A = this chain, B = another copy of it.
Amino acid sequence: MPSPLRKHIPYILVAPSLAYLAFFISYPIFYTFSLALFGNPSPMVEVMTSPRLGEVALYTTLIIATVIPAQIVIAIFASLFFLNRFRGRELVLYLFIAPLAINEVAAALIWYTMLSSSGFLNKLLINTGVISAPIYFFGYEFIDRTLLAIFLTEVWRATPIVFIIIYAGMQMISRDYLEAADVFGLNLWQKLRYIILPLIKPYIQTALIIRTLFALQVVGPIFILAGEYVRVLATEVVYWYSMRLNPGVASAWALLIGLVTLLLGGLYIKLLRPSAGAT
């Protein structure tokens, strides 16, 4: 068979894949773009000048800037913990990542129930005499506490995925690097600072990117825990689409999510450039 034909075989065989890509993936994406940008006035312009933008930016930033760092720190310490071989390690590990198996909406419902005025936490605190009246977490007046509830729910639900990434990263560190550190007298904290953290940088980066991506898309838990009074980018999409029946503005918010994702992704890649040669 002549060489040029052989070279084209892979392309011929995968023509269906390309068609799939073009129609099935690209079309819906461009459709969203056109909905968001074109119109009179352009929905995108509408969104960028709307008074809701500031509020949305505030809550989105607040949630992401507290939840994600907390998850990374917890995941790093949990990974250090699970690197030790101990009895029952596997069981504890499965327990730790169990929340992965629970739907985000169900997770929010569980925490809503636990933190509600007649929920477990208040009962416990009242029965032990720590407080005399229930603490209210939900409602427009208690927006700080609602944010705390969102924080707890998100940390509970999504830390396992961060943990899995960072744990994988730590397992990839050659044992020799750590043993060399032991031989040369580094203690646990010095090992963490000088050896482990620099070496898992690429994994922290991956975790940050994935978590930011998903955190920007959380809708269900926020609606459940905060109804309409904590507005973030993702809830705006649903709000404008389903309640205000305005696909244009909804698409514009969706596009904003995409832009913010790309922006933060780029930022992480720039800031957490893996140290030369660390692999």
Contacts and interface: CB of A to CB of B under 8 A. Distances in A.
A22 B219 CA distance: 28
A24 B107 CA distance: 12
B213 A28 contact: no
Contact of A25 (B99, B109, B234): B99
A254 B81 contact: no
Contact of A26 (B95, B102, B120): B95
Contacts of A77: 14, 16-17
Contacts of A242: 109, 224
A219 B31 contact: no
A250 B109 contact: yes
Interface stretch (A53-61, A110-118, A132-140, A193-201): A110-118
A151 to B, nearest CB: 12
Contact of A80 (B11, B14, B110, B156): B14
B219 A25 contact: no
Given A74-B20, A78-B17, A109-B247, A237 B31 contact: no
Nearest to A224: B242
A32 B99 CA distance: 12
